[in-house]
């Protein structure tokens, strides 16, 4: 047999290296590795950096920024150890898969493991996307795998956004599109549509304008500014097609303008300024009341119409104003000043509203707009609510309010402390995997009263995560609990749907909640079992047993998406979810 194997391989070994290298070009990474292990010559043939560069780039789309992939691609292949890089990333994927499986198996240390996985940053995204998109429907833990894969990706994105806002708070230079684009990292399900995507789109728009106006470089600043506004409005990149949806949540995000051709004035101006700067025009937003305007300045020693300035050393740059959201024409400064006077704004404050606004001002103003949009969305019928996650949007607003504050610089510091309890509550209810992100907060309040309580909260959360769950059996005194973890129900009185994620044999709420909810007026009162549930509006509630009615249909898509936090899969045969929190409720 050994002789037959050697004879069978002889024809291949008889080929010149050039042909063998050509064959290897058609092999995937696993087959290339197997080929390399067959003998020393094959190992040498497969050691080419070009081969392993191809495997790296075809296997992984996402790369952590610290690797500087663009620089690696730009330099000659032999200057990078591509084979070693492939081995490193493949090893990382194996380690991450092990962490992920451990994380699914128990609630103990679950958030610590999520942090470990998220610490790989962009290097982990391809593996997680594969779990999201390709986990089989018949997998025993399909919901848990998809949910937690998405959770880690979202946590990585939120971390990037918070780092951007912390940079602003620290006084570092941050582009406006990065500051506003960070909001999108809280609500976009696809990590590829982050700030990099936004910048690429803006680059392409600027290039299209150059193509439309080949002699543009020689134009005056006024001509360029107006041409840019006309192009953006003609292409529906700025403005709003349906002003009846003015406060719709999606209008607060820059990328919405590329897809749905709708944005608020602030976002329209931010897009205008970003494109204008790419075309050599000095444009900034103004913090004008009610509607943000663009301020275009002539930064060189020339007039806005390109004439040589005759001014002395006291020369002040000329400005013009535009409202790209509402018009492609120039807005006169006199008109803007008249409106400020009509609003009752003192004359000495007019220049503050007419001059270029800072990035921090626009970031705060966006937070206030998101607050309005979410509050409005919460009062709309479910069928009219944005496809974006309103809880994630609200969470982003809270982060900005705590990091950057609300109002002007003089009052922002005091006001941001008011938002800490709301941020903590939202974190604990909806985003407990962000514990590592919360650890960035105490440093912002060093020497202030909030510092120690924040540290104590973080320690308590860490201790809770690493603690074994206390098992709650169905033996006495819990034998009377009728429904189980994973049951899907409709509320008898309020008609919302939800699923059960916890229970108490008797009402375990405080006396104030019991009085407020009039629990003692219920036919079975406070002594009946009560259930922790997740409703189809993503809220968590505490429901009396007498108000629960099981329903025999498959849950909605919204609930199926949420279910993976607690369950492995939906079972048609039992009409309930299979629990993934059995360490806490072993009999369910």
Give per-residue pLDDT as tens, 352-391.
999 999 999 999 999 999 999 999 988 876 655 567 889 9
| CB-neighbour burial class of residue 329 (10 A; exposed 0-12, middle 13-18, buried 19+) | exposed
Range of the domain at 409: 362-466
Residues 282 and 352 grouped into a single domain:
yes
The beta strand positions in 20-172, using DSSP E, are none
pTM over 0.85: yes
DSSP 302: B
For residue 7, the model assigns a pLDDT of 41
Contact 531, 548 (CB under 8 A): yes
Residues 272 and 348 grouped into a single domain:
yes
Domain count, the chain: 3
Residues 258 and 320 grouped into a single domain:
yes
Residues 268 and 415 grouped into a single domain:
no
Q: Mean of the pLDDT values across residues 403-428?
A: 85
For residue 315, the model assigns a pLDDT of 57
Residues 351 and 381 grouped into a single domain:
no
Q: Count the neighbouring beta carbons within 10 Å of the beta carbon of residue 163.
A: 12
347 within domain boundaries: yes
Q: Rounded to an integer, what distance in angstroms lies between the CA atom of residue 294 and that of residue 357?
A: 10
pLDDT category at 411 given cuts 50, 70, 90 is: confident
Domain finish residue from 357, 378, 413: 357
268 within domain boundaries: yes
Report the interhelical angle of 409-418 vs 420-430 (nearest 10°): 50
pLDDT at residue 50 greater than cutoff 90: no
162 within domain boundaries: no
For residue 102, the model assigns a pLDDT of 94
For residue 33, the model assigns a pLDDT of 75
For residue 413, the model assigns a pLDDT of 72
Residues 408 and 532 grouped into a single domain:
no
- Collapsing DSSP states into helix, strand and coil, what is residue 249? helix
pLDDT at residue 265 greater than cutoff 90: yes
For residue 6, the model assigns a pLDDT of 42
For residue 311, the model assigns a pLDDT of 53
Residues 204 and 289 grouped into a single domain:
yes
How many angstroms from the chain centroid is the CA of residue 318?
39
Domain finish residue from 357, 381, 409: 357
Q: Compare 355 and 193 and report the one with higher pLDDT.
A: 355
pLDDT at residue 254 greater than cutoff 70: yes
pLDDT at residue 86 greater than cutoff 60: yes
Residues 524 and 442 grouped into a single domain:
no
55 within domain boundaries: no
Residues 207 and 277 grouped into a single domain:
yes
Give per-residue pLDDT as tens, 439-468.
999 999 988 889 999 999 999 999 999 999
Q: Compare 413 and 181 and report the one with higher pLDDT.
A: 181
49 within domain boundaries: no
Q: Rounded to an integer, what distance in angstroms lies between the CA atom of residue 415 and that of residue 402?
A: 8
82 within domain boundaries: no
Give per-residue pLDDT as tens, 211-249.
999 989 889 999 999 999 999 999 999 999 888 888 999
Give the pairing type, strands 488-491 and 530-535.
unpaired
26 within domain boundaries: no
276 within domain boundaries: yes
Domain finish residue from 328, 357, 386: 357
Residues 462 and 498 grouped into a single domain:
no
Q: Mean of the pLDDT values across residues 418-439?
A: 95
Residues 402 and 510 grouped into a single domain:
no
pLDDT category at 40 given cuts 50, 70, 90 is: confident
Residues 451 and 551 grouped into a single domain:
no
Q: Mean of the pLDDT values across residues 263-270?
A: 96
Contact 241, 261 (CB under 8 A): yes
């Amino acid at each position: 047999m050994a002789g037959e194997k050697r004879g069978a391989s002889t024809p291949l070994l008889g080929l010149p290296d050039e042909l063998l290298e050509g064959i290897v070009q058609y092999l995937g990474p696993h087959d290339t590795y197997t080929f390399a292990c067959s003998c020393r010559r094959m190992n040498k043939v497969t050691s080419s950096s070009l081969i392993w560069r191809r495997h790296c780039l075809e296997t992984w789309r996402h790369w952590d920024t610290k690797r500087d992939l663009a620089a690696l691609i730009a330099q000659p292949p032999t200057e990078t150890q591509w084979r070693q890089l492939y081995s490193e990333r493949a090893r990382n994927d194996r380690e991450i898969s092990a962490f992920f499986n451990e994380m699914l198996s128990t609630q103990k240390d679950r958030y610590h493991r999520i942090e470990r996985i998220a610490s790989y940053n962009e290097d982990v995204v391809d593996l997680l996307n594969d779990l999201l998109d390709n986990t089989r429907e018949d997998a025993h833990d399909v919901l848990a795998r998809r949910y937690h894969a998405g959770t880690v990706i979202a946590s990585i994105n939120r971390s990037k956004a918070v780092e951007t806002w912390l940079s602003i708070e620290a006084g570092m230079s941050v582009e406006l599109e990065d500051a506003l684009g960070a909001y999108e990292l809280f609500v976009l399900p696809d990590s590829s549509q982050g700030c990099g995507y936004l910048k690429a789109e803006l680059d392409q728009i600027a290039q299209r304008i150059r193509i439309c106006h080949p002699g543009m470089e020689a134009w005056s600043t006024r001509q360029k500014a107006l041409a840019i506004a006309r192009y953006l409005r003609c292409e529906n990149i700025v403005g709003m097609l349906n002003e009846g949806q003015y406060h719709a949540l999606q209008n607060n995000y820059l990328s919405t303008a590329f897809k749905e051709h709708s944005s608020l004035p602030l976002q329209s101006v931010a897009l205008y300024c970003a494109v204008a700067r790419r075309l050599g025009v000095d444009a900034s937003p103004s913090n004008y009341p009610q509607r943000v305007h663009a301020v275009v300045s002539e930064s060189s020693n020339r007039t806005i119409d390109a004439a040589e300035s005759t001014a002395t050393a006291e020369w002040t740059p000329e400005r013009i104003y535009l409202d790209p959201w509402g018009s492609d024409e120039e807005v006169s400064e006199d008109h803007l000043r008249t409106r400020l006077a009509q609003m009752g704004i003192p004359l000495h404050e007019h220049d503050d509203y007419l001059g270029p606004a800072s990035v921090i001002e626009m970031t705060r103003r966006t937070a206030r707009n998101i607050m309005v949009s979410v509050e409005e969305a919460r009062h709309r019928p479910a069928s009219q609510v944005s496809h974006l996650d309103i809880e994630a949007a609200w969470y982003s607003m809270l982060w900005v309010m705590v990091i950057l504050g609300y109002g002007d610089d003089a009052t922002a510091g005091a006001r941001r402390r008011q938002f800490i309890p709301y941020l903590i509550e939202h974190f604990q209810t909806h985003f407990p995997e962000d514990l590592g992100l919360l650890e960035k907060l105490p440093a912002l309040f060093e020497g202030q009263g909030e510092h120690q309580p924040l540290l104590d909260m973080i320690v308590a959360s860490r201790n809770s995560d690493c603690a074994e769950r206390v098992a709650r059996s169905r033996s006495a005194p819990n034998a009377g609990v009728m429904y189980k973890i994973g049951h899907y129900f409709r509320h008898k009185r309020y008609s919302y749907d939800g699923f059960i994620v916890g229970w108490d044999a008797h009402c375990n709420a405080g006396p104030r909640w019991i009085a407020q909810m009039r629990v003692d007026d219920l036919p079975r009162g406070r002594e009946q079992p009560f259930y922790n549930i997740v409703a189809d509006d993503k809220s968590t509630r505490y429901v009396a047993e007498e108000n629960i009615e099981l329903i025999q249909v498959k849950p909605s898509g919204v609930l199926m998406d949420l279910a993976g936090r607690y369950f492995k899969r939906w079972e048609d045969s039992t009409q309930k979810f299979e629990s993934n929190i059995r360490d806490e409720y072993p009999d369910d």
